[in-house]
């Protein structure tokens, strides 16, 4: 279980001095500006959950993950992983965590992939026979064989991500923190990575916190989302409730045979967006009104032929939280 209580991180960066010798003057200046990257975060994640951690650029996602993994020290507040602080009990906590930063590999750039795995096996003190068995299992899921002898710098982005995910799983952690693991990947590579993450969560019961800007990742993988903006939580709950809460309109396109007779005024809470060539487009909030109630009314306006409904795009829903 992961418990985060009133977590804060403020960065102090030197104010860049203007004019001649600005570099040297900045170095000796005592002027600092503060950036509250994470303001006051509290949440709990139960074992076996798959949680999406999303927010716009600069919201504080990476800073949070760095504090969860013990890389950064919080300014105040606390993180507990299975009751232990990643900062105070680094060695014990690290053994329970796997971390992947999509933008940066944790493998040795010039070494063949299998050499990186050997180093990590030794670092995490995994028995060699256990590590071999685990690599066999990971190979089944991630098709690593073709990569093993290649230096990391020669791997494609998709291959590199597979190699990095395997590296994060070598010591069999029960919690995974993933920061943009599908960034820059093509459709096929994304599908493979998502399949792997789903297997880890559903079959092996791993707890996963996933940061991504790809809303398809979230829709396909996460039941729960935490939305963060300006270092604070804007929403924490299920995806479905999020959609309902934002209440973006569902669009209904109704096709009629022949003329449409829209009355001058009516009392229902839906809006006619467009009317042209036998097609009526209506925006309605499905929390306030059932589709059948809308249809009952609009069927009186002509000879209805077909109805097409479009739910709001997930991306629009998320932007509704950021606003």
Ligand X SMILES: Nc1ncnc2c1ncn2[C@@H]1O[C@H](COP(=O)(O)OP(=O)(O)OP(=O)(O)O)[C@@H](O)[C@H]1O
Task: Using CB under 6 A, pick the residue from 51, 59, 68, 113 that binds ligand X.
Answer: 59
- Residues 172 and 193: their CA atoms lie apart, in Å, by 18
Q: Measure the CA angle with vertex 264, ends 262 and 269; round to 5°.
A: 80
Q: At what angle do helices 128-142 and 113-123 cross, to 10 degrees?
A: 130
Tell me if 61 contacts ligand X by CB under 6 A: yes
Task: Using CB under 6 A, pick the residue from 31, 32, 46, 58 that binds ligand X.
Answer: 58
Least spacing, CB of residue 155 vs ligand X, in Å: 23
Tell me if 134 contacts ligand X by CB under 6 A: no
- Concatenating the DSSP letter of every residue in 201-258 gives HHTT--EEEEE-S-HHHHHHH-SEEEEEETTEEEEEEEHHHHHHHHTPPEEEEEEEES
Tell me if 39 contacts ligand X by CB under 6 A: no
Other beta carbons within 10 Å of 124: 14
Tell me if 37 contacts ligand X by CB under 6 A: yes
Encoded tokens for 86: 């990643």
Least spacing, CB of residue 44 vs ligand X, in Å: 21
Tell me if 62 contacts ligand X by CB under 6 A: yes
Task: Using CB under 6 A, pick the residue from 43, 49, 51, 55 that binds ligand X.
Answer: 55
Stretch in the footprint of ligand X (CB under 6 A) among 61-69, 110-118, 268-276, 288-296: 61-69
Tell me if 57 contacts ligand X by CB under 6 A: yes
Smaller CB separation from ligand X, 105 or 192 = 105
Encoded tokens for 49: 């959950």
Q: Which of residues 224-263 bind ligand X (CB under 6 A)?
A: none
Q: Count residues contacting ligand X (CB under 6 A)?
A: 12
Tell me if 60 contacts ligand X by CB under 6 A: yes
Residue 133 CB-density burial (10 A; 0-12 exposed, 13-18 middle, 19+ buried): exposed
Smaller CB separation from ligand X, 35 or 73 = 35
Are 208 and 201 spatial neighbours (Cβ–Cβ below 8 Å)?
Answer: yes
- Residues 191 and 197: their CA atoms lie apart, in Å, by 10
Tell me if 33 contacts ligand X by CB under 6 A: no
Chain positions contacting ligand X, by CB under 6 A: 11, 13, 35, 37, 55, 57-63
């Amino acid at each position: 279980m992961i418990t985060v209580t009133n977590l804060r991180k403020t960065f102090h960066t030197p104010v860049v001095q203007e004019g001649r010798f600005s570099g040297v003057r900045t170095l000796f200046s005592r002027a600092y500006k503060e950036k509250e990257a994470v303001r006051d975060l509290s949440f709990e994640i139960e074992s076996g959950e798959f949680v999406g951690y999303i927010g716009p650029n600069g919201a504080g996602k990476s800073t949070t993950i760095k504090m969860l993994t013990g890389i950064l020290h919080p300014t105040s507040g606390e993180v507990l992983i299975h009751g232990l602080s990643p900062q105070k009990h680094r060695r014990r906590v690290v053994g329970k965590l796997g971390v992947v930063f999509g933008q940066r590999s944790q493998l040795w750039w010039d070494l063949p992939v299998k050499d990186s795995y050997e180093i990590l096996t030794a670092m995490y003190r995994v028995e060699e026979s256990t590590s071999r068995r685990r690599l066999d299992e990971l190979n089944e899921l991630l098709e690593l064989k073709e990569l093993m002898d290649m230096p990391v710098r020669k791997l494609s982005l998709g291959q590199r991500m597979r190699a990095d995910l395997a590296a994060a799983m070598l010591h069999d952690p029960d919690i995974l923190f993933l920061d943009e693991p599908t960034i820059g990947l093509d459709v096929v590579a994304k599908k493979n990575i998502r399949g792997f993450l789903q297997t880890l969560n559903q079959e092996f019961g791993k707890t996963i916190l996933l940061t991504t800007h790809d809303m398809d990742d979230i829709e396909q993988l996460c039941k729960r989302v935490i939305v963060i903006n300006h270092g604070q939580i804007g929403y924490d709950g299920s995806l479905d409730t999020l959609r309902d809460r934002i209440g973006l309109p569902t669009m209904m396109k109704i096709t009629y045979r022949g003329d449409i007779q829209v009355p001058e005024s009516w009392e229902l809470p839906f809006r006619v967006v467009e009317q042209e060539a036998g097609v009526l487009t209506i925006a309605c909030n499905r929390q306030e009104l059932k589709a059948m109630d809308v249809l009952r009314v609009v069927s009186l306006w002509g000879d209805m032929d077909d109805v097409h409904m479009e739910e709001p795009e997930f991306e629009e829903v998320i932007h509704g939280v950021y606003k």
